[in-house]
Amino acid sequence: MRRLASIVVLVAAMPLLAFGPDEQVVPTHWALLVGVSDYIHFDDVEGGDLPGAEHDARSIRDLLVLKWGVPEENIRLLLSREATRAAIEEGITGWLASNVGPNDHVTVFFAGHGSQMWDESGDEDDGLDETIAPADVMPTSTENDISDDTFNEWLGTIRSNNVLVVLDNCNSGTGTRDVTPFSRGRLLARDIDALERPATASRRALPGQEDATGFDAAQTRVLEFAAAQPHQVAVDAFFPATGGAEAFNGGAFTTFLVRELWKAPASATYEEAFQAAYEALKRNRFQQDPYISDDVPLKSQPLFYVEGGATAGDMALPITAVSGRRAELAAGLALGVTAGSVLETDDGARLLVESVGQRLTVANVTSGSVDAGEEARLVAYRYAASPLLVNVAAVDTRIIESLRSGLGSGGDVVLVENEDAFSHLIVRRGGDELRVIGSDGFARHEGIGLDADGLAGLTDALLKEAASKRLGDMDNPAQAFSVRLELLGGRTSFGIGEEIGFAVESERDGYLTLVDLGTDGTVAMLLPNAEATSVRITAGERLEFPDPASGLVFRALEPTGTGLVRAFVTERPLDISIPAGDDYVMGGAEFAARVTAALMDAAGRDGTAVLLDTWGTASIVYDLYD
């Protein structure tokens, strides 16, 4: 079967208690949201409790209610120990099945562990069925697991063709990763070989086989979002406090999916929102690759649309309470709002964000007046200083001092010597080599020697990582116009030596900057360049680079790996000069700082916050292979 790591199922129904689903006149929304942080029979360790799962479910709930207008009474939230197998089954086959009409829209969300059980139907090449793990899953039995076959039977009781399922978990999780203090894999810690194998179990299982299937909704009417590929680990990650916002734990995929859904216009499709979340995940250096199902009609439909129902407006935060010049707002953390950012109401009142917490954003009303029930749009964003934090607690003093000397005093990379303090990257030693892993536990650099050359190479790699982070962080959380960026030919993977080209479209006239964050971390400004020192882009027109008529060709060059291209469209060109004799400008952390500073200057400022309606951005991830 095909694999599903993160699934959302969409079904909606009108809560008219006097009528059954078939008699409902106006379609509506329903949602069953499950987040298991506290497992009844497992401890608070890797493979057991998951700190961020409840947060994920609540974030989805807030998104559906506050932006998309889903009635609160049409949402059932099952958290931790109340999310048993029986409760999930009743939520789907009882509550949803009895309320959802044929044209309703349903969201089924699960954040928690995945696992496996012996395949008894013979439909799995590796002899194992993938499962999701409710709160009462057992360490030595699969009695309470929910297999994909069972899950499909339950979904089949919902009488709607508008079903989106999102599961933020992993099932096989054979991808190798290190344990870190800053993430947990969403794979239950249970040895399948220690479980009793039923006499009817498939005999096809082979040891060491990589699973290529995964949890599968297997219905053309169900749109699936998966947090990771079948052989990968979906992580429950720690997101540190930055820019005055409270720290939190959450599923990496769900965190960025929710953020992109908050930003998405009402006309955006599921596929577009998924792709935006995928790009955001990669910009933030997470290794897992989300999955979206193929050939499902809902994929190309507007988000959360039902005939005759309300549609979402522009991205705005609801004001929930006002006391004097102090206002409280909801949902700021999910959107990534920072202290110092500026909000504005339709009546022109302005608010300056003071703090952002798990459930509450606090702002000061700096002009005009506001009332509870109004909404405030984000108009200027304060980009907090965010150096690359590198944990070196596991290596000796000689290595630390060598890195400190090589990195200099620029502040782009900060070495962290407290083992438990959050870090974006972690340096660890194994024998005569060093390796660098991300906070999600996946390796980013391996086989680094302990000699002078090896440490110099590590220093260079860290500076390039810092450069990529700086530009990757320059997202627009309330973009006023769309920018589309694609690789010519529709491909995203290229062999070394193959030609690569880009196409950009913008909804607004402006000046285009195209920046490549290469597979080795090198930052290269592709546009403008020596031949085109200022690149004007016209609204609605497609601009290709290199221009087919120019004779210029771009080819994929080593090293292999994953890179990222970002497009910025601004009202005036970025003030970056091309050095005499150079075709392109490129560099590391220092150059990335120049690009971001020029971008903020071109955008304009409101105090210390950067205006958001003057510029737009888009990104695309590519892979290079041998």
CATH number of the domain where residue 335 is located:
2.40.30.20
CATH number at residue 572: 2.60.40
Kindly state whether residue 306 falls inside one of the protein's structural domains: no
Q: 3-class DSSP state for residue 25? A: coil
DSSP conformational letter for 68? T
* Single-letter code of the amino acid located at 447: G
DSSP conformational letter for 300? G
CB 487 within 8 A of CB 500: yes
CATH number at residue 192: 3.40.50.1460
Quote the CA–CA distance of 500 and 493 in Å, as a whole number: 10
94 and 196 co-located in one domain = yes
Kindly give the residue spans of alpha helices, DSSP state H, lying in 162-288.
252-263, 270-283
- Domain residues for the domain of 463 are 392-472
Quote the CA–CA distance of 106 and 92 in Å, as a whole number: 10
Instruction: Take residue 426 and report the two structure tokens written for it.
Output: 């972690």
Instruction: Take residue 606 and report the two structure tokens written for it.
Output: 């409101």
Quote the CA–CA distance of 103 and 296 in Å, as a whole number: 16
- Is the preceding omega at residue 387 within 30 degrees of 0, hence cis? no
Kindly state whether residue 457 falls inside one of the protein's structural domains: yes
The predicted pLDDT at position 624 comes to 93
Q: Around Cβ 467, how many Cβ atoms within 10 Å?
A: 27
Positions in the chain short of pLDDT 70: 1-25, 120-127, 172-176, 197-214, 216-220, 309-314
Residue with tokens 């702002």: 363
Instruction: Take residue 106 and report the two structure tokens written for it.
Output: 């349903």
337 and 406 co-located in one domain = no
Burial class from Cβ neighbours inside 10 Å (0-12, 13-18, 19+) for residue 584 reads: middle
CB 432 within 8 A of CB 398: no
Quote the CA–CA distance of 278 and 412 in Å, as a whole number: 26
Kindly state whether residue 478 falls inside one of the protein's structural domains: no
Q: Residues with Cβ < 8 Å from 535, sequence gap 6 or more?
A: 511, 512, 513, 514, 527, 528, 543, 573
Kindly state whether residue 194 falls inside one of the protein's structural domains: yes
Strands 105-111 vs 29-35: parallel, antiparallel or unpaired: parallel
Quote the CA–CA distance of 105 and 286 in Å, as a whole number: 31
The predicted pLDDT at position 171 comes to 77
The predicted pLDDT at position 520 comes to 79
Instruction: Take residue 101 and report the two structure tokens written for it.
Output: 């009409």
Last residue of one domain, picked from the residues 356, 381, 406:
381
398 and 499 co-located in one domain = no
Quote the CA–CA distance of 343 and 462 in Å, as a whole number: 36
Quote the CA–CA distance of 607 and 381 in Å, as a whole number: 10
CB 476 within 8 A of CB 615: yes
Quote the CA–CA distance of 5 and 103 in Å, as a whole number: 26
Q: 3-class DSSP state for residue 43? A: coil
CA distances from 163 to 258, 264, 276 (A): 18, 19, 21
563 and 456 co-located in one domain = no
410 and 363 co-located in one domain = no
Q: 3-class DSSP state for residue 464? A: helix
The total number of structural domains in the chain stands at 4
Kindly state whether residue 512 falls inside one of the protein's structural domains: yes
574 and 443 co-located in one domain = no
Quote the CA–CA distance of 543 and 244 in Å, as a whole number: 39
What values do phi and psi take at 624, rounded to 5? -115, 135
pTM of model > 0.85: yes
Q: Around Cβ 393, how many Cβ atoms within 10 Å?
A: 16
Quote the CA–CA distance of 453 and 449 in Å, as a whole number: 7
Write out the H or E segment, with its range, that includes residue 400: helix 397-407
What values do phi and psi take at 362, rounded to 5? -110, 135
CB 91 within 8 A of CB 78: yes
Quote the CA–CA distance of 114 and 596 in Å, as a whole number: 40
The predicted pLDDT at position 173 comes to 52
The predicted pLDDT at position 127 comes to 60
% residues pLDDT > 90 (the chain): 65
376 and 408 co-located in one domain = no
Kindly state whether residue 309 falls inside one of the protein's structural domains: no
Tell me the Cα Rg of the chain.
25
Quote the CA–CA distance of 317 and 336 in Å, as a whole number: 12
In 3D space, the residue among 16, 27, 34, 9 whose CA is nearest the CA of residue 114 turns out to be: 34
DSSP conformational letter for 90? I
371 and 398 co-located in one domain = no
337 and 462 co-located in one domain = no
Quote the CA–CA distance of 272 and 235 in Å, as a whole number: 23
Q: Long-range contacts for 530-534 (Cβ within 8 Å, ≥24 apart)?
A: 530/578, 530/582, 530/583, 530/584, 531/583, 533/578, 534/573
Q: Residues with Cβ < 8 Å from 577, sequence gap 6 or more?
A: none
In 3D space, the residue among 38, 34, 31 whose CA is nearest the CA of residue 12 turns out to be: 31
Write out the H or E segment, with its range, that includes residue 542: none
Query: Across the strands, what pairs with 46?
Result: none
Kindly state whether residue 308 falls inside one of the protein's structural domains: no
Last residue of one domain, picked from the residues 472, 503, 530:
472
**Can you say whether the dihedral through the CA atoms of 123, 124, 128, 134 is positive or negative?**
negative
- Residue 8 CA, distance from chain mean position: 15
DSSP conformational letter for 34? E
CB 127 within 8 A of CB 65: no
CB 363 within 8 A of CB 330: no
417 and 529 co-located in one domain = no
Kindly state whether residue 310 falls inside one of the protein's structural domains: no
The predicted pLDDT at position 517 comes to 87
CB 309 within 8 A of CB 342: no
Burial 95-122 (b: 16+ CB within 10 A, else e): ebbebbbebbbbbbbbbbbbbbbbbbee
CA distances from 344 to 378, 384, 422, 610 (A): 7, 20, 34, 14
Last residue of one domain, picked from the residues 472, 491, 518:
472
Strands 388-391 vs 113-118: parallel, antiparallel or unpaired: unpaired
327 and 447 co-located in one domain = no
The predicted pLDDT at position 216 comes to 67
512 and 585 co-located in one domain = yes
Q: Residues with Cβ < 8 Å from 107, sequence gap 6 or more?
A: 8, 9, 10, 11, 29, 30, 31, 32, 33, 60, 64, 70, 164, 166, 304
Query: Across the strands, what pairs with 197?
Result: none
The predicted pLDDT at position 206 comes to 42
